Structure 1
Amino acid sequence: MSRPLSVPPPTTTLGLYRQLLRESSYLPSLARPHADRYIKDRFRRHQHDKTDETRLRKRIKEAHHELRVFRAANAGDMDRMHKILLKAFGRTGSRRRELFTSLVRHPSPATTEEMEAQINGVRAWSFDRDPDWLDGWDTEALLSFAKAQAKTSLSSSPRGPLLHKHLMSPEKNIPRENVYGKPFPEKVMRTKLKKVYADLADRVLPPLPEKEWHKLGLVAEGKFEEAGWHVPSRRAVAKGLVEDGDKKEDDWKWQAYATKPVALVDIAQSKKLRLLTGASDENTPYGDTQPVDRHVYTPKFWRRLTKSIWLLTAKRAQDPEKGGYRITWGRAPFNAPKAAASGMEFFESLPVDAESSEGIKGTKKKGRK
Structure 2
Amino acid sequence: MSTTNFTREAWLHLYRALIRQCSYLPDPIARVQMQAYILDRFRRSAAEEKELPLLRQQALRKSALSELSLLNRANDGYIKPLEKVLHLAYGRRGKRRHDLIEAFIPPAKKGAHPVTDFSDGWEPPSHMVALLKAQNHNAMITLLNAGLYVKETTPSIPSENIWGKPLSESRRMNIRSRWYTKARGNMFPPLPDKELKLLEGLILGTTPWTPPKRRKPVETSPTHVDSDINLALFLEKGPQKGDTFEKYADGRPHIITRRFMQRLWKRLSCLIPRVKWDTKTRKPIFSWDVIHRGPKLAVLLEEDLASEIFGGVDAAGKKIKDDKPQIEDSQSN
Matches of 2:75 and 2:91, distance apart in 1: 20
CA contact under 8 A between 2:267 and 2:291: conserved in structure 1? no
Matches of 2:108 and 2:288, distance apart in 1: 22
The Cα of 1:201 is off from its aligned counterpart by 2.1
Q: Secondary structure at the match of 2:173?
A: helix
| Amino acid in structure 1 at the alignment position of 2:215 | R
| Amino acid in structure 1 at the alignment position of 2:12 | L
Q: Over residues 88-127 of structure 1, what are the superposed CA-to-partner deviations in whole Å (9 max), with x where a residue is unaligned?
A: 111111111111111111589xxxxxxxxxxxxxxxxxxx
**Paired position in structure 1 for 2:317:** none
Change (3 A) 1:49 1:107: closer
**Paired position in structure 1 for 2:31:** 32
Identical-residue share of aligned pairs (%):
25
Matches of 1:73 and 1:195, distance apart in 2: 35
The Cα of 1:229 is off from its aligned counterpart by 3.6
**Paired position in structure 2 for 1:101:** 102
**Paired position in structure 1 for 2:137:** 151
Change (3 A) 1:142 1:210: same
Matches of 1:47 and 1:137, distance apart in 2: 41
Aligned length: 268
| Amino acid in structure 2 at the alignment position of 1:174 | I
Q: Over residues 118-160 of structure 1, what are the superposed CA-to-partner deviations in whole Å (9 max), with x where a residue is unaligned?
A: xxxxxxxxxxxxx727699962221111112223333225133
**Paired position in structure 2 for 1:53:** 54
The Cα of 1:194 is off from its aligned counterpart by 1.2
CA contact under 8 A between 2:270 and 2:288: conserved in structure 1? yes
**Paired position in structure 1 for 2:286:** 327
CA contact under 8 A between 2:83 and 2:264: conserved in structure 1? yes
The Cα of 1:296 is off from its aligned counterpart by 1.5
Matches of 2:54 and 2:248, distance apart in 1: 30
Structure 2 counterpart of 1:20, from 18, 21, 30: 18
| Amino acid in structure 2 at the alignment position of 1:71 | N
Structure 2 counterpart of 1:304, from 263, 270, 282: 263
TM-score with structure 1 length normalisation? 0.63
Q: Secondary structure at the match of 1:31?
A: helix
Change (3 A) 1:249 1:103: farther
Bigger Cα displacement from structure 2, 17-26 vs 60-69: 60-69
**Paired position in structure 2 for 1:231:** 211
**Paired position in structure 2 for 1:160:** 148
Matches of 2:224 and 2:11, distance apart in 1: 29
**How does 1:186-225 map onto structure 2 within 5 Å?**
186-221=169-204, 223=205
| Amino acid in structure 1 at the alignment position of 2:34 | A
Matches of 1:327 and 1:81, distance apart in 2: 27
| Amino acid in structure 2 at the alignment position of 1:328 | S
Matches of 1:294 and 1:235, distance apart in 2: 18
| Amino acid in structure 1 at the alignment position of 2:89 | A
CA contact under 8 A between 1:160 and 1:203: conserved in structure 2? yes
Matches of 1:23 and 1:133, distance apart in 2: 44
CA contact under 8 A between 1:104 and 1:138: conserved in structure 2? no
Q: Over residues 135-190 of structure 1, what are the superposed CA-to-partner deviations in whole Å (9 max), with x where a residue is unaligned?
A: 99962221111112223333225133332xx22x32xx211321112223212211
The Cα of 1:233 is off from its aligned counterpart by 1.3
| Amino acid in structure 2 at the alignment position of 1:58 | A
